Amino acid sequence: MCGRYSLATPAQVELRARFGLGESVDIRRRFNVAPGDDILAVTTSKEGEPRGDVLRWGLVPHWAKDPRTGFKLINARSETIAEKPAYRDALKTRRCLIVADGFYEWRKRDDRARKQPFHITRADGAPFAFAGLWAVWHGPGDEVLRTATIVTTGANDLLADIHDRMPVILPDQGAEDAWLDHGTPRAALTDLLAPLPDALTARRPVGLAVSDARYDGPDCLADPEPEPEARSERAGPGDLSLF
C-alpha cells in the first residue's frame, strides 16, 4: 500500500513545467503527505485536456453517503480497479497523475516495537507521478469534494522485503500521457500498472519523525538516529575498568 508520501523538492518552477501545472495551482513543499490531505495532481477536462489540480487524498465515489468513505479508499489495487464499483467508472475517463518525489513504507524490526521507516524514490531523485483515479462527490447544500486514490501493484524485488505492495510510479512522460489519455485502450492501461523496475528505484532508511502522520517537517527525511549502545554486563570484582 501507500499511506504516506513526499513532495519536498524546492524546484517549483521546474515542477510546474515538468507536469504542466500552470500558475494558478498552489505548490507547497510537503515532507509527509497523509490521507485526508490536499494533494497536487493533474486531471483532465471532459474533452481530455490535462490541467493542474488539487484533490483530497482518499477517493469518495459519487454515490457514497458519507465523505469519510475516502479514508478507506486511499489506495486502489490495480488488479481489481476495473471491477470494483468505487473505481471502475473513474478508470474510464477520470484517471489522474499524483505528483510526488518519494513515498514511505515501514518494515517490522524483530527486536523493537516501532517499525523502521524507509523513503523510496526514483534512483535519479527526480519528481514523478503516481497513477491515480479521481472522483467528484456532491454533499448536502453546495458541498463538493474532489478526491483521489493512488493505484498500487505488487512490489518490485528491491522493495519486497519491506512490503508486498507499492504504488504505481509511471516511469516516464510517455507513460504519464498514456495514463491521462481518454483514448488509451484498456489493455494498454493494464500494461502501465506495473512495478517500477528495480534499476529505477532507490530506498533508504529515515528517522521516526515521519511515523507521526500529523508532522510535516524536513526531518521526516533525516537519517535514522544512531542506535544506543548496548549496556555492558555488570563488572565482576576483578574488573579494574571500574576504577
> Residue 74's domain is classified under what CATH number?
3.90.1680.10
Residue 179 near residue 92 (C-beta atoms within 8 A): no
Residue 111 lies in a domain: no
Q: How many domains does the chain fold into?
A: 1
Flag whether 224 is in a domain: no
| % the chain with pLDDT above 70 | 93
Residue 64 lies in a domain: yes
Q: Catalytic pick from 96, 105, 176, 220?
A: 105
The answer as to whether 35 is a domain residue is yes
Listed in sequence order, the residues at least 6 apart from 96 whose beta carbon sits closer than 8 Å to its beta carbon are: 41, 42, 43, 44, 53, 55, 132, 133, 134, 148, 180
- Candidates 2, 96, 176, 220; catalytic one: 2
Residue 149 — pLDDT band, cuts 50, 70, 90? very high
List all residues 6 or more positions away from 3 whose beta carbon is below 8 Å from its beta carbon: 34, 35, 74, 75, 104
Number of H helices, E strands in the chain: 4, 13
Q: Is pLDDT above 60 for 173?
A: yes
Beta strands in 85-140, from DSSP E residues, in sequence order: 95-100, 102-107, 116-122, 128-138
**In degrees, to the nearest 5, what angle opens at C-alpha 37 toward C-alphas 66 and 13?**
140
User: Rounded CA gap, 79 and 169, in Å?
Assistant: 15
Q: What is the pTM of this model?
A: 0.91
Residue with cell 575498568: 241
Does some domain include residue 108?
no
Cβ(176)–Cβ(100) below 8 Å: no
- Among this protein's residues, is 105 annotated catalytic? yes
What was the pLDDT predicted at 114?
Answer: 87
Residue 203 lies in a domain: no
Of residues 56 and 235, the one with the higher pLDDT is 56
Q: Provide the residue range defining the domain that includes 173.
A: 5-101+127-197
Whether residue 60 is contained in a domain is answered as yes
Return the percentage of the chain with pLDDT > 90, whole number.
85
Q: Do 107 and 224 touch, CB atoms closer than 8 A?
A: no
What is the enclosing helix (H) or strand (E) of 87?
Answer: helix 85-93
The Cα 153–Cα 77 span in angstroms is: 6
Per-residue pLDDT tens for 27-54?
999 999 999 999 999 999 999 999 999 9
Asked whether 50 and 180 are in contact (CB, 8 A), the reply is yes
Domain contains 115: no
Q: Which three cell numbers stand for residue 87?
A: 473505481
